[in-house]
């Protein structure tokens, strides 16, 4: 059992599972050491208690410092995204890390691999995953290998592929690989297994981990569509090869064609748990597919509600693309202006928005939008607002509801008009660094489209949104000071 004073090394922290595991390790142990090729890119997101050491598993000399004093190391490295030669890179990295871990006296390596029936011919990706586990074990260091099926969680490769297909295609041509049985597992359960592996008694073991039920990609997509209230038709086609399927995915989804091909080649192997010993050894009862999808969607909403779009968008530079920026499932259009006013002065017109004050630009268009909303059974603009100068979370402002409010800083409104999706409008005011007499107003429109109709709605009215929101921001700036 790892003690709280032990040094735990986490590799692959910039990846999906590694990033989720870091939060669990910090909560449990307080301090964690991370291996990263570019520590400067991780420092801001890791927070206190995390030591970041520069290193690369393909550079053996760099591993000595990282593994010094380490008792348990997590190995979450793989080269699936490389253009070519990923098997050889995985092989070299595992050999280097295994040798360095043995030399440093590491007691245990915890490794996350891929689940597949070893009696079947394996895809190159799964074959490489199993080979890495064997290389680590040959080092003589104790290894706990967890072989996972499809991982479901907001942001995971498989989940994003499913989301893109279901959201964008009312009718899907489905090749045979979408019917292969799997045992999808929630990301929260994967992290729980990885954390619990710290407490296992001595000895190397291989565990197969999956969710509570067997399901194919077809069944996962149908369940996602059900929870998103989308009607989807799937037409089986047996002749789509992995190569053609990957090119198709590259056009339809955000998955790169080469990664899509490796993923599809792996999907052709069934990933069903045959050795159920993990249920006996670990105190974890995995979620069902429906529960895993529901949690992924809830977590996405939670992450969204806690996000500062000014932080998320600032690293992307100016937003000049015609349809805004897509973050996750949501379409985002954000703009900002600097004003010669204090933070409180700049926020004052925002605090008074809606009701009798109006929306600072194109009053007729706002009235027309409210009237059209009434015609289709919505609330329109008739609700106004409770008080002309005071705001409370939960109250209504015309056809919006206040979802978050921080005086003189932030107002987040969620739309309650009839829409093919969900929408938010956010205003955020921050002082200019080192100059309390100037502030920055950021205005962000966010839309979570529901299927194809939602996307058509967003792109169809986007030019009108540009006109209205630019005018609104310009007039807000005029209300509180001189636009810079």
Render each residue's pLDDT in the chain as its tens digit; 484 residues. Answer: 555 457 899 998 878 888 889 888 988 887 889 998 877 767 666 777 788 889 888 888 889 889 998 999 999 988 655 545 778 888 999 999 999 999 999 999 999 998 888 777 877 778 888 999 999 999 999 999 999 998 998 877 778 778 877 887 888 777 777 888 889 999 999 999 999 999 999 999 999 999 999 998 889 999 999 998 888 888 887 665 655 565 556 555 554 444 555 566 656 777 899 999 999 999 999 999 999 999 988 887 666 554 443 333 333 333 333 345 555 567 888 899 999 999 999 999 999 999 889 999 999 998 888 888 888 877 888 788 888 889 988 888 998 999 888 899 999 998 988 888 889 999 999 888 778 789 999 999 988 888 788 888 888 888 888 899 999 999 999 998 544 4
Q: Which of 268, 271, 247 is nearest to 259 (CA)?
A: 247
C-alpha to C-alpha distances, 418 to 230, 383, 393, 422, nearest whole angstrom: 16, 15, 21, 9
Cβ neighbours of residue 446 closer than 8 Å, sequence gap 6 or more = 304, 309, 330, 331, 332, 423, 424, 425, 426
| The pLDDT of residue 314 | 36
Measured in degrees and rounded to the nearest 5, phi and psi for residue 355 equal 60, -135
In this prediction, residue 394 carries a pLDDT of 83
3-state helix, strand, coil in the chain (%, to 5): 45, 25, 35
Domain spans, the chain: 7-303, 310-480
Number of H helices, E strands in the chain: 16, 18
At residue 201, the pLDDT reads: 93
Using alpha carbons, select from 145, 100, 295, 93 the residue that is nearest to residue 211: 295
Contact in structure between 7 and 70 (CB atoms under 8 Å):
yes
Distances 332 to 75, 312, 360, 384 between C-alpha atoms, Å: 35, 11, 21, 26
Claim: this prediction has a pTM higher than 0.75: no
CATH superfamily assigned to domain 7-303: NAD(P)-binding Rossmann-like Domain (3.40.50.720)
Integer angstrom CA distances of residue 267 from 172, 190, 217, 245: 18, 19, 9, 12
Instruction: Return the residue matching tokens 């609104």.
Output: 472
Rounded Cα distance between 47 and 447, Å, is: 30
Instruction: Provide the pLDDT for residue 320.
Output: 36
Residue 63's pLDDT is 92
Are 269 and 122 in contact by the 8 Å Cβ rule? The answer is yes
DSSP string, 182-250: B--EEHHHHHHHHHHGGGSPSS-EEEEE--SS-B-HHHHHHHHHHHTT---EEEE-TT--HHHHHHHHH
DSSP string, 71-90: EEEEE----TTSSS-HHHHH
Q: What is the CATH number of domain 310-480?
A: 3.30.530.20
Q: Note the helical H segments in 353-450.
A: 363-375
Cα–Cα distance, 43 to 52 (Å, whole number):
7
């Amino acid at each position: 059992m790892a003690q709280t004073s032990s040094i735990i090394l986490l590799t692959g922290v910039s990846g999906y599972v590694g990033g989720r595991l870091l939060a669990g390790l910090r909560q449990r142990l307080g301090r964690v050491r991370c291996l990263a090729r570019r520590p400067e890119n991780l420092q801001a997101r890791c927070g206190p208690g995390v030591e970041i050491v520069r290193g690369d598993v393909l550079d053996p000399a760099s591993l000595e410092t990282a593994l010094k004093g380490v008792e348990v190391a997590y190995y979450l490295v793989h080269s699936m995204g490389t253009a070519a030669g990923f098997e050889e890179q995985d092989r070299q990295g595992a050999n280097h890390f295994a040798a360095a871990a043995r030399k440093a006296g590491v007691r245990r390596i915890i490794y996350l691999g891929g689940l597949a029936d070893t009696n079947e011919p394996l895809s190159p990706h799964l074959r490489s995953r199993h080979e890495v586990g064997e290389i680590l074990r040959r080092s003589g260091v104790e290894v706990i290998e967890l072989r996972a099926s499809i991982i479901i969680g907001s942001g995971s490769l498989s989940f994003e592929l499913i989301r893109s297909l279901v959201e964008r295609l009312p009718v899907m041509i489905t090749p045979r690989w979408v019917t292969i049985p799997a045992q999808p597992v929630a990301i929260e359960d994967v992290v729980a297994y990885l954390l619990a592996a710290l407490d296992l008694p001595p000895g190397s073991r291989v565990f197969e981990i999956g969710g509570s039920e067997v399901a194919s990609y077809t069944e996962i997509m149908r369940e996602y569509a059900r929870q998103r209230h989308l009607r989807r038709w799937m037409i089986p086609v047996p002749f789509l090869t992995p190569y053609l399927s990957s090119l198709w995915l590259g056009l339809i989804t955000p998955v790169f064609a080469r990664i899509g091909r490796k993923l599809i080649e792996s999907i052709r192997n069934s990933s069903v748990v045959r050795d159920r010993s993990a249920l006996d050894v670990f105190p974890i009862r995995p979620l069902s597919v429906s529960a895993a999808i529901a949690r992924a969607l809830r977590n996405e909403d939670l992450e969204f509600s806690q996000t500062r779009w000014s932080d998320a968008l600032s690293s992307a530079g100016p937003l000049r693309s015609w349809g805004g920026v897509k973050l996750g499932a949501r379409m985002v259009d954000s703009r900002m202006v600097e004003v010669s006013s204090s933070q409180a002065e700049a926020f004052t017109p925002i605090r008074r928005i809606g009701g009798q004050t109006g929306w600072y630009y194109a009053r007729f268009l706002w009235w027309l939008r409210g009237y059209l909303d009434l015609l289709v059974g919505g609330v329109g603009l008739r609700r106004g607002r409770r008080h002309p100068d005071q705001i409370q979370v939960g109250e209504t402002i015309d056809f919006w509801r206040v979802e978050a409010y921080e005086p003189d800083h932030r107002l987040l409104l969620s739309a309650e008009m009839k829409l093919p999706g969900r929408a938010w409008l956010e205003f955020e005011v921050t002082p200019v660094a080192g100059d309390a007499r100037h502030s920055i107003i950021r205005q962000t429109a966010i839309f979570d489209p529901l299927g194809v109709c939602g996307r058509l709605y967003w792109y169809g009215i986007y030019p009108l949104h540009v006109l209205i929101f630019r005018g609104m921001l310009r007039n807000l700036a005029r209300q509180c000071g001189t636009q810079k």
